[in-house]
A = this chain, B = another copy of it.
Amino acid sequence: MDGDKTDRRSQRTRRLLTNALVELLQEKRFDGISVQDILDRADIGRSTFYAHFTSKEDLLYSSLGQMLHSLQMHIEQAEATTAMLPSLELFRHIKGHQRLYIALVTANSLEPIARNLQQQIAQIVEHNLRSQVPANRQLAVPLPVLADFVASAFLSLLVVWLEGNNTWSPEQVDTMFLQMVQPGVKSVLAGGG
């Protein structure tokens, strides 16, 4: 059976397909991309594609998974500088992989990705917040909901940033982010009305 990830040929195929998809994502929407488009761009045989992935969605999530793994590494490395929210690290990591993120997050993107991304980011945030609140404390807003709020605010700012104001630095974006988000988070964690 095909799909051995260690074989050099397999790696090559997977790399070509991933690159082709990323390229195409910068040209048009995901649902406007056919498997045939990917095959043509990657110059890969039809049967080979289906030996590796079950669908174009499968390929997409494989790429997304790689990216999120790298993101997670980045966060954990920087965890020494434990701010209340690790947002600056996120913004920096994204700036470093701009092209892919632009393709994934902005106009060419699609709902499942944004959703998946938001969930992953929410988990990171929740993990961070949980360490700052006693386990048995009752909050006015459940922690998962609060984390989801932070993640969604994060992504919305990301879209604005990547789509339009590419001149802002990660630090500038982070400052804006924190000014909008942090007061609310503090308010909830403090238990104030």
Contact = CB atoms under 8 A, between A and B. Distances in A.
Given A111-B111, A111-B114, A152-B153, A181 B179 contact: no
A98 interface: no
B148 A160 contact: yes
Identical chains in the assembly: 2
Nearest to A30: B111
A138 interface: no
Interface of A: 31, 109-112, 114, 118, 140-141, 144-146, 148-149, 151-153, 155-157, 159-160, 175-176, 179-188, 193
**Which 7 pairs from chain A and chain B are nearest by CB?**
A111-B111, A183-B183, A152-B156, A180-B184, A141-B176, A183-B184, A152-B152
